[in-house]
Amino acid sequence: MSKQITNEDIKNFKKDLANHPAAKVAGRAAQENGIFKASQNLQSKIDLDPTFSIEINTGKPSDQKQSGRCWMFSALNTMRHPMQKKLKIKDFELSQNYTNFWDKFEKSNWFFENVIATADKPLGKRKVAFLFATPQQDGGQWDMLCGIIEKYGIVPKSVYPETANSNNSSALNDTLNTLLRKDGLKLRKMVNSGKSKDKVEARKNEMLNDVFRVLSISLGIPPKKFDFEYKDNDGNYHRDPDVTPKEFFDKYVGMNLSDHISTINSPTKDKPYHKVFSVEYLGNVEGGRQVRHLNLKVDEMKKLIIKQLKAGEVVWFGSNVVKDSERKAGLLDTKLYDRNELFDVDFSMSKGDMLDSGESMMDHAMVITGVDIVDGKPTKWKIENSWGVKPGFKGYFVMSDKWFDNFVYQAVINKKFLPDNLKKDYDEGVKNPIQLLPWDPMGALAFKY
């Protein structure tokens, strides 16, 4: 039976508050400065000095501006770093707008295909409502970028630069989602009225033609061929004419994407360790590479990351960046704010409970470029962000190892660094991955910051 809050309850709460002598001081500090400023622990800045025993020099960080393409920027950063070293060029970037164009185009087709497949279900069904809530958006996953590159290749940023609509994507997303929802309803009506598959497919292609026009006007028409020109650090001029995007990737990036797999750390009851998972409706390229996650213990993930860093390879990773973070200072630390002490209330939750309750989920992808190991254990990690050079240490952040434990959920690992038992687990698991619901924290809206 439900119980209302009574005046007697409130009287007792006030009486208890009076028994906390520090509450008045804490109240003045919090009300004047805000909760985070009032509870900030300056020791974090001392502990997270940007000095690392293992460090990979990666140059100037990129800037995703007002878009949710962190997953794309960070993935392309892992590819441009070895390219910069190989070609001896500084601050070179691959075109994030090029992969952005094809990602949005493929996501539109992905949406239409899922709308057709669920046309017999009511709009009020949760999965159908989920599809129409966000037909496409900026977020994505490592596997999704691989699917785009495997189909369309990649180009330098100089060949296909950013536009106002890629730098600030809100208007394009709003425009495109309006069109997709309108057309999605039309496709549902065609299917439910008994129209043939051929007619539905023909109408869908007409809709995709409109999508292509919207993207081309907003982002520019992607090149089929281009001349790759650059000067190296020694001033030598280089030119490679009439290169296709796929030829460019193969020749200059040369990464075997199939060797790089997604590992996650999700300590929840529904996800046994060493099993492979996929997320329903999370994807972009129909018939292309699909999202796959191998669930590992956090210490297993750390060992693989350190192994990869020692070999000179940076690591793409996914986390919950809004938690216990200071953007301006570039710090990620669970001790950054002590709200327990400020309020005399225990706010602590396990990683599994945070995921299960919606308290935490993946929202941002970055790149691990270094680690500080003391007495054989990692204490802090060097992070390349994609928010430009103003935040943190010229665009780089420092992450405490405890923050890693709590808020790092995903890391892309080269399969050559996996021990034989994990290789076997992954190879067997991808054949029949465990399907997660569309709103699962391991991929619900993918990355958005």
Write out the catalytic residue numbers.
70, 364, 385
**C-alpha to C-alpha distance for 440 and 168, rounded to whole angstroms:** 27
Residue 302 · residue 10 · CB < 8 Å: no
> What are the CA-CA distances from residue 436 to residues 122, 279, 285, 355, 444 (Å)?
21, 5, 19, 14, 9
Exposure b/e, 116-131, CB count within 10 A at least 16 = b:
bebbeeeeeeeebebb
Distances (CA, A) of 397 to 158, 296, 334, 385, 390: 27, 25, 14, 7, 11
DSSP 10: H
Whether the CB-CB separation of 394 and 281 falls below 8 Å is answered with: no
Going from the C-alpha of 408 to that of each of 27, 264, 316, 365, the distances in angstroms are 32, 9, 11, 10
Q: How far apart are CA 73 and CA 385, in angstroms?
A: 9
Q: How far is CA 181 from the centre of its chain?
A: 25
Which tokens sit at 73? 């920027």
Taking the C-alpha atoms of 415, 355, 170 and 289 in order, what is their torsion angle to the nearest 10 degrees?
A: 30
The residue among 108, 115, 124 whose CA lies nearest residue 178 is 108
